Structure formats: structure tokens, C-alpha cells
Structure 1
């Protein structure tokens, strides 16, 4: 599981700008303190791009604001198994976030996000 995200397609303002994959990336940025919970909207806008650049720079990656194999690959190093074989934890700098993994595909898991609004309607 710690190498699951390295083969994902690229996310950016021009490539898949509105998707659940963007929501997953935003949860990573939130867990590491680069976005607020209200920024998780599954839209790769200027705020997500800026947060991505800061996240990449802090990890010594090329800070181009695009989430490709190197960026996703660095993030998936923080994935951990839980007692439920379909739920995985991202060990964030500020707090942990959880993802549902069904048939090898990751999905948003709003049950563990630190707010009680539905992000599924935005994604």
C-alpha cells in the first residue's frame, strides 16, 4: 500500500481539475497543514496549487504545483494499514486522514474527516 499512489495520473489545474482524486490529494494537504478543512472541495484551484507547491518544496521535490508520480509517490509513503482491510490511514504532519480502498481504488472516506459536512456532494 505504500506504493499505491505512485502510478496515479497527474492532477493539476488543467489535468483532472475536478475529481475525487483531487479531493484525496486535498485531504493529504489538509493532514499536513497546507489546507484548511473548508478547502477540501475536489477542485484543483489556485489554493490547492499553491499548497501543493509548498508541500513539494518542503519535501525537496520539484515544486511545480502538479501532482504526478513523484509527488503522489512521496505521499503514499505515509499510508498505513488499519484493522479494517479496506481503510487506510495517511500519517499526516498535523493529523491523520483515512481513505477507503475498494478493489484497489482509493475513495474519500468522510467518516474520519474532522468536519461534519458532506464532501461527497462536491466531488
Structure 2
């Protein structure tokens, strides 16, 4: 895909999200049960088990989700979504945590995921993380696990591998 094609696709998704986010209002985020460990989630029940730790987190779709949260809030560019929990992501995480009144340790654990989850709202058939600058589309699968929008369709998040288009 050309750079212009990727940019126009991102713009189209963001426009749809912004309209959906405005229509969704300020509804409270819903809690949903997690998957079996192979499908990643952004839910209260699974947060303590899916910690992102500097120096020991393997590349995965869940890392891409966190990097997308950082992008949506304006802490990193979209090009930084790589599925690798690298030093630049750790540094941006520390700033994000500090700005959200959390311990700036660079570890994305229950408190950090929980703070981010407070900004997930329904938007029609989807859920949206309402970032400070961008909306991030999410969807619940039949089992209540979150999926992310990737390359024109929703895909489950893997906690054990990097399978999203941006990460291959």
C-alpha cells in the first residue's frame, strides 16, 4: 500500500470514530470478561496478568494496543506502533503515567490499563478509546474480548505474538 493510501485509510477510520465518539456521549465503560490468554484484552479481569514491563515484554498485539493508546493521546506518532515495547515506548509510558497521576515506572499493569479503560465508550456497534487527540476503534467479539481495527477489519489481539499488519 502506498503512503497516501495508508494515510487516507487512517483518516477515514478516524473520521468515522470521531463522529461515533461525539454521538456516544460520555457513557461509562463496560467491563467484559477476558479470553483464554491467546486473545488479548483491555478489560479489568485480565489486566494484572498482561503486564508490559521494560526489558522483558515480548512483541505482541497487546503492546501495539498500548502504543495505539499513546498515539491516541498524542504521546507518540502513529508510526511508532511497532508491537515492540522499546525504550521510546517506555519513556512515553512514563510521561503518560505521570500525567494521569500514576507512578511513572514504565510498567503497564493494572493501574495503567485501568486508567486507560476509563476512556472506552460505546459508539454504535463498536467501542472507542477516546484519546486526547484521536479515537481508537475497538470491538467486542462474541466472547466479550476486545478486537482492534487492523487493515480494514477487526482482529483479535494476541498476547503471545505480534500478528497485526503494522507489526509484520
TM, length-normalised to structure 2: 0.62
1:14 offset after TM fit, Å?
3.5
1:10 offset after TM fit, Å?
0.4
Matches within 5 A, 1:1-123: 1-3=29-31, 5-6=43-44, 7-8=46-47, 9-84=50-125, 87-102=126-141, 103-110=143-150, 111=152, 119-120=164-165, 122=167
Flag as ranges the 4+ runs of structure 1 deviating above 4 A.
Answer: 1-4
Q: Is the 8 A contact 1:31 1:95 kept in 2?
A: yes
Q: Is the 8 A contact 2:82 2:166 kept in 1?
A: no
> Which of these two proteins has the greater Rg computed from alpha carbons?
2
Distance in 2 of aligned mates of 1:109 and 1:24: 10
1:99 offset after TM fit, Å?
1.6
The residue that corresponds to 1:116 in the other structure is: none
Give per-residue Cα distances to partners, 1:29-56, cap 9 Å, x unaligned: 0000011000001111001101100000
Greater fraction of residues in helix: 2
Q: Is the 8 A contact 2:67 2:80 kept in 1?
A: yes
TM, length-normalised to structure 1: 0.83
Q: Which runs of 5+ in 1 are unaligned?
A: 113-118
* Number of corresponding residues: 116
Give per-residue Cα distances to partners, 1:36-94, cap 9 Å, x unaligned: 0000011110011011000000011000001000000000000011211xx21001101
Q: Is the 8 A contact 2:94 2:104 kept in 1?
A: yes
Distance in 2 of aligned mates of 1:26 and 1:94: 14
